[in-house]
Every structure is written in structure tokens, then in C-alpha cells.
């Protein structure tokens, strides 16, 4: 298994640097179910941030990329079910993926609720607002 950094996935999906894109594509194509790539939960948060804030990729495209990663048999995703749940929140809500992942992770850990000062996270990610 090979751990993949965010920049590998950015080059693979965005193709903004010819040399690094070629290397990333070759690496991704070399993966298999018996020799998979590994994507940590933090990669999803960072990938969402880079795509939205740096590259200005539309949310629908980010959701599509995440769906592709989660569906791949050549990738192992840390806490896959939690990431899937966070993606479902993110897909239909007006909030950051990181807030959705925080709420889904707390739920998976057995928390009865997740509290926040962030009004948007409370409204759209299912957290409880404390005022």
C-alpha cells in the first residue's frame, strides 16, 4: 500500500503541471486492489480546501472527485464510512467539507452531539450551536 499526498491527487484531477501530472497519472494507474493507494481523512479536508480556495473548483466537481475516490477499488480510504457520511452532508448543504467531517467523525465516535460557535456549521452540518 502506498500513501498518497494531496498534491498527487490535485495533479491527477486538475492536470495543471504537465510533468507532475504525468507522474501522478502513472502512479494512480499503477495502483491495484492488491497494491492500493491509501488516502487519509486529512487528505479529503486538504483536497477540499485546495480545490475550493486555491483553485476555485466548483463544489459539484469536488463532490464528483470525492465520489470517484470513494468508489475506486484501487484506493483504501481511512474511515471510509465516516467520509461517505460527511460527503452526503456536504453534497446537499451549504457548509465546508471540514465541518461535515467533524460532525460525521464525532457521530462515528459515539458523541451524542457536536457543539460549535459556528452558525453555519450548526445549521448545515448538524452541530449544536452554543451561545
Query: What's 26-48 look like in SS3?
Result: HHHHHCCCCCCEEECHHHHHHHH
Check residue 59 and give its pLDDT: 94
What ranges make up the beta strands (E) of the chain?
A: 2-3, 37-39, 75-77, 115-116, 128-129
Least confident of 22-26, 66-70, 98-102, 124-128: 124-128
The neighbour count for residue 48, using CB atoms within 10 Å, is 25
Express each pLDDT in 77-117 by its tens digit: 999 999 999 999 999 988 889 999 999 999 999 999 999 99
What are the distances in angstroms from CA 94 to CA 14, 97, 116?
A: 23, 9, 16
Which residues, in sequence order, are CB contacts of 6 under 8 Å at separation 6+?
43, 46, 47, 50
Contact 70, 77 (CB under 8 A): yes
Share of the chain above pLDDT 70, in %: 100
Amino acid at each position: 500500500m502506498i500513501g498518497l499526498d494531496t498534491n498527487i491527487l490535485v495533479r491527477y484531477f486538475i492536470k495543471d503541471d504537465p510533468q507532475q501530472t504525468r507522474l501522478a497519472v502513472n502512479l494512480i494507474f499503477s495502483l491495484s486492489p492488491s497494491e492500493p493507494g491509501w488516502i487519509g481523512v486529512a487528505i479529503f479536508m486538504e483536497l477540499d480546501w485546495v480545490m475550493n480556495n486555491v483553485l476555485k473548483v466548483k463544489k459539484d466537481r469536488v463532490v464528483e472527485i470525492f465520489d470517484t475516490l470513494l468508489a475506486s477499488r484501487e484506493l483504501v480510504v481511512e474511515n471510509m464510512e465516516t467520509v461517505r457520511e460527511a460527503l452526503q452532508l456536504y453534497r446537499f448543504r451549504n457548509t465546508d467539507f471540514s465541518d461535515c467531517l467533524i460532525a460525521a467523525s464525532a457521530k462515528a465516535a459515539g458523541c451524542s452531539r457536536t457543539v460549535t460557535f459556528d452558525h453555519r456549521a450548526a445549521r448545515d452540518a448538524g452541530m449544536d450551536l452554543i451561545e
